[in-house]
Amino acid sequence: MVEWFFGYLAGAVILLAILVVASRNPVHSVLWMLLMFLHVAGLYLLLNAEFLAATQVIVYAGAILVLFLFVVMLLNLREEIKIRRFTGGWLFKGLTALGIIYVLRRGLEGFRVGFEGPWSIEAVGRATHTRALGQVLFTEYILPFEIASLLLLVAIVGAVFLSKKRLR
Amino acid sequence: MNEINVSMLAPLLPEVIMASAGILVLLVELVARRKETAGLLSIAAVAVAAYYVPHSFGKSFGGMFVSDGYSAFFKFIFFINLILTVLLSMRYLVIEKSNHGEYYSLVVFSTLGMMLMASAGDLIVLYLGLELMALSSYVLAGFIRHDARSSEAAVKYFLLGAFSSALLLYGITLVYGLTGTTDVSLIGAAVVEKGLSTPLFLSVVFLMAAFGFKTALAPFHMWAPDVYEGAPTSVTAFMSVGPKAAAFAAFGRVFLTGFGSLSTDWTGILVVLSILTMAVGNILAIQQDNIKRMLAYSSVAHAGYAVLGIIVGGAEGLAAMMNYLFIYGFMNLGAFAVVIMLRSEGVRGEALEDYKGLAKTHPFAAAVMLVFMFSLTGIPPTAGFIGKFYLFKAVVGAGYAWLAVVTVIFSAISAYFYLRVVMYMYMLEPEGEAVTLSLSPSLGLALLITTLVVILIGVYPSPLLSFARLAAG
């Protein structure tokens, strides 16, 4: 049963990703992307990662896509639709993509399923995902967490500087 | 590992000082009437942080952060880079009519990102440090907002930088999937245990491409000339030394600690990249008529030399690379200082033509530029020779004599475009209106420091060499 769900979600994510890139109308692209994000959230749910699924919906599907839509509204859609989506060279690009897919497929065999360590699947299940994530994030991964906060500060300073400071 | 206490911050003291300084500079900028105050404050912060670097050795946060000799040496390169860049920028930003205090804060945050990269014992910290460094430099590249070239440079840098970040993350996820850890030394142990596999090799290639982007190795150098030309010159100087050195620091640590046991498999690719980089950088630099673009290709070529240190590997190779990057920092920042000096109100001073007859109109500026061009070529009494000499010595010592010969040949080609600047300055008559120099006390100080160090290391290199040797070992 789970395999069927996974198959549907994974297939849908790939199909929707192709539609995002291939759509002529940017508004359609953004809406396909919204659907894709919701399917990715479904994948997280399958992994018992309910917190990530919720974040995915709130942050990506909610906040980031609204921003995308704002930007798309600023474009001249009539002109944009006439622009060709793709450049040529399909043979080379296709071969590169197939090559990468082949190597990744081979790579799957080398992946380790589940890790030894304090956070086994059962341990995460017992503590519940959100609590486990919170505990790890604010103890073991506190340093990356703090660096990320500085990163956001720089992003804010940069965005405010580049957009708001009056030109002289 | 679940106990968090303040003492864990002890090895991070220089980083904590820099982070506080970045925020403090932002606040001071609001009230300071003269924006130079913010610059001076950032230099003071660096002095304090540098004082604490030797007292901060140790690991922290479960090995995520490693402060050792290797990272300390690179941190000194970043500090020097910051101090000299601030000195170069004070007057230049006024001339460019973009004198805002955020500049200094972004320079501090970017340097903090580099320090985290050099000290990263975990790929997550490495990635976040790299983003902190890169995000600040994207904004810095677009700092002159009324100049379309600057904005274009920022957008190009951002798009290609984001692409290289994606490559890096993809490589990291593959490594995590294969080894079950992001800790560099644990990855090393897991790689020894499991040996080479196709996906592991793929992730090595992804990481190599990502570091190749940041260090501007060919064929990942495409962004460098456009970004270096369009960005404000002071920022170009900053970007060509600091982020490059930081990427080399991370490159060396990840590849020699994490994938050291696979070195026979990846050195081959790196040799090809190195030769390609030297060829592209040196040959394309010949046809440039804009000095910033020429220095951009020259910086690509120097990345090709420096990467030889990673190919050689071991303490010997790393010491040669660190030594080279240290020297490169001084001579490159010095050359950019002269370029900035030629920039005055209304005159861009970036074309090679502007250097015609400089020795007649401004003998002092021409003499200083002569020193840096000699040093970049690698001519004996200057530091550039010492850097190249020890690099070649390490390369030959590792049994790559033919590679050293190739490098010397490309180095000889580089003499053509470096010495052409000298020829323009000393052997041609000035044309049209003479360029005016915009010399300020801070720029003069920067020129004085860089010239003295380039000559001093050239004459008396042993302290630097033993320092690099100690740090790498």
- Chain B contact for A115, CB < 8 A? yes
pLDDT given at position B362 = 87
pLDDT given at position B305 = 93
Query: Using 50, 70 and 90 to split pLDDT, how confident is the model at A90?
Result: confident
pLDDT given at position A113 = 63
Nearest to A150, CA basis, from B24, B128, B142? B128
Residue B3 distance to chain A (closest CA, Å): 7
Residue A97 distance to chain B (closest CA, Å): 14
- Chain A contact for B114, CB < 8 A? no
For tokens 């793929």, name the residue. B202
- Chain B contact for A113, CB < 8 A? no
pTM of the predicted structure, to 2 decimals: 0.92
Distances from the Cα of B291 to the Cα of B57, B314, B340, B357, B418, angstroms:
41, 36, 11, 15, 10
Residues of chain B with pLDDT under 50: 1
Rounded to an integer, what is the distance from CA B347 to the centroid of its chain?
A: 28
CB pairs under 8 A between A and B: 102
Nearest to B215, CA basis, from B107, B309, B312, B142? B309
pLDDT tens for each residue of B99-157:
888 899 999 999 999 999 999 999 999 999 999 999 999 999 999 888 888 999 999 99
Contact B202 A140 (CB under 8 A): no
Residue A44 distance to chain B (closest CA, Å): 16
**What are the DSSP calls for B201-260, one per residue?**
HHHHHHHHHHHHHHHT-TTS-THHHHHHHHS-HHHHHHHHHHHHHHHHHHHHHIIIIISG
- Chain A contact for B4, CB < 8 A? yes
Name the residue facing B100 among A135, A150, A165 (closest C-beta): A165
pLDDT given at position B301 = 94
The residues pairing with B67 across neighbouring beta strands, listed in sequence order, are B58
pLDDT given at position B1 = 47
Give helix B363-377 / helix B314-341 axis angle, nearest 10°: 160
Name the residue facing B97 among A104, A140, A168 (closest C-beta): A168
pLDDT given at position A167 = 58
Contact A110 B129 (CB under 8 A): no
- Contact list in A for residue B198 (CB cut-off 8 A) is 103, 106-107, 110
- Predicted complex: ipTM over 0.85: yes
For chain A, the average pLDDT equals 84
Contact A143 B64 (CB under 8 A): yes
pLDDT tens for each residue of A95-129:
988 988 887 787 777 676 656 667 777 777 788 88
Instruction: Assess whether pLDDT exceeds 80 at residue A23.
Output: yes
**What residues of chain B, 61 to 100, have a C-beta less than 8 Å from chain A?**
61-62, 64-65, 97, 100
pLDDT given at position A124 = 79
Rounded Cα–Cα distance for residues B31 and B78 (Å): 28
Mean pLDDT confidence for A3-28? 90
First CA to last CA distance, chain A: 64
pLDDT tens for each residue of B349-382:
788 888 888 888 888 989 999 999 999 999 888 9
Instruction: Tell me the three state secondary structure of residue B429.
Output: coil
